[in-house]
Structure 1
């Protein structure tokens, strides 16, 4: 009887040991930690950035491997963790990403210089979770439609800023500031509660109609000039507007001032994204127009251009409060 009990206990112990060998032991806490390698200039520079800012930089989308278990033969089983840029904050884009990896150390050092300049310039709320740098990249959607990411470009994803290389000298200088402005634009959209006051400034019925319906005197602004009536609209505020090439500088400035007064009375700084003869279709288009306008001008310049439009300045102050107080960005 005693031998039978010993046999049962032995079998239980062996069974527990076997079960422990098959049990998952996934550890995620150190997955994104960067280790120093002083013998490798690139890895050491990546570590220095991580050590100072806490932001990892990757040149490969396979960022590490996770020990899962030891199988019955005693062999270690790993799961390889990769960056998946198709994830959004609340959705999955169902895109397949392919990359040409950046392997040239000189190009990698250029990338790390741009990234470090960005982190020095941007407030901490504008730092991404990580950077991923490639030589080139493309996506393929479920309809087999391809999108090529041009060299020297970048995209701001949910957790990752994807950068593609071969930067020009001018891009190396300007890219950190340009990226910071785009990051402000992407971050501010998340403050939906704080944007409620912004959305309440302009009357809801002002969104979507033709300008001439909102203001019966809309085309009076161009009376007495030689320019066609269809010239008059918010497209004239863009530096790419065709009228910039045919108007004298003083005349263009006067024309644009009239446009700002006309659309500013409704609290708008832009028109419909589809046609200049209509007001913004909705509050999201209105907000996008404001963010673009704010990031193009200093605070002094904005006040000089729009200061005579009380509704515009009211919206501007609301957004400035979010940008400076919540995002820590000085305008």
Structure 2
């Protein structure tokens, strides 16, 4: 009798486990993020083409799918809705509340997909995000109820998602892929803490945020041998949009810029601060200027322009190892 009771208990236990397993959903996250084709819809078809080529989904809504959980006591299906959580950062959870104005116009959506495709073609695979989320605008509210609005072509790189907002100007459509790549490189570089510390240690801490002329009493000596105003001798002269560029003959401008690079390079800087009369304000601003200069030039071009400045080249080699060797960016 005792054995019979034991067998009955075992049978009930097995049946209970089978019943429970029937209520349990096997969640396949890869299926959840997979994109299905819809040839009748130009936007969905383009999204599918990008997904097929790069393996990266693009969303125009933060609710990306639903997962079956179980049936309730009345027999109705119960689902859990999966949404994009942008509060996760590279090192923390921000606890921001997000709200969105969704992008619904097909023409705007196709413009967004064009920008994204150009970025994916431009950026090496280590710089590809897990997904893109495109909205008309977005708003965040922090724990102090302070708001921030993202709109008119702004973007923000999150831990897994690149958030983009619409209403792009023609110039933004052209420049955004390169701009986003620079920002992505900057975010990725922060993972290489030892190398970044080495970069930050090259230029003396006291050189940041200082007047060029105060750091170097002979700063304007070069200009004294020309007929140009002394204030021309500043990092602004390195820009192709500099207002005074037409006042120079080509060879004269080249010599002027070469002298300027040597003057800046003695401190290990390739750009100025907010005011061109000052050095970069801190290490982060210095890093951003290097990333921009590196991505705009080949390695040979960079060495040709800055190769006579040992501190600049020391910083460049540190970043080159990260950007080219680790992140796979072709320079």
TM above 0.5: yes
Alignment-derived partner of residue 248 in structure 2: 249
Alignment-derived partner of residue 266 in structure 1: 267
TM-score of the superposition, structure 2-length normalised? 0.80
State the alpha-carbon separation in 2 of the partners of residues 157 and 114 from structure 1: 18
Alignment-derived partner of residue 152 in structure 1: 153
State the alpha-carbon separation in 2 of the partners of residues 6 and 182 from structure 1: 66
Alignment-derived partner of residue 313 in structure 1: 313
The count of corresponding residues between Structure 1 and Structure 2 is 328
- After TM superposition, list the pairs within 5 Å mapping 1:1-331 onto structure 2: 5=5, 9=9, 16=17, 20=21, 26-207=27-208, 209-223=210-224, 232-234=233-235, 237=238, 244-245=243-244, 248-250=247-249, 256-273=257-274, 276-331=276-331
Shift of 1:50: 1.1
Shift of 1:41: 3.4
State the alpha-carbon separation in 2 of the partners of residues 270 and 125 from structure 1: 27
State the alpha-carbon separation in 1 of the partners of residues 173 and 208 from structure 2: 40
Shift of 1:254: 5.7
Change in 2 beyond 3 A, CA 1:16/1:289:
same
Shift of 1:63: 0.7
Shift of 1:32: 1.2
SS in 2 for 1:144: coil
The Cα RMSD (Å) is 3.6
TM-score of the superposition, structure 1-length normalised? 0.80
State the alpha-carbon separation in 2 of the partners of residues 304 and 11 from structure 1: 80
SS in 1 for 2:134: strand
8 Å Cα contact 1:22/1:71 also seen in 2 = no
Q: 1:270-311 deviations in whole A, cap 9, x for unaligned?
A: 3445x5555445433322221122234444543444233232
Change in 2 beyond 3 A, CA 1:236/1:92:
farther
State the alpha-carbon separation in 1 of the partners of residues 259 and 253 from structure 2: 10
8 Å Cα contact 2:136/2:151 also seen in 1 = no
Change in 2 beyond 3 A, CA 1:7/1:181:
closer
In structure 1, runs of 5+ residues without a counterpart are none
State the alpha-carbon separation in 2 of the partners of residues 167 and 246 from structure 1: 29
State the alpha-carbon separation in 2 of the partners of residues 211 and 220 from structure 1: 12
Shift of 1:197: 4.1
Q: Please, which moves more after superposition, 76-85 or 93-102?
A: 93-102
Q: Please, which moves more after superposition, 185-194 or 47-56?
A: 185-194
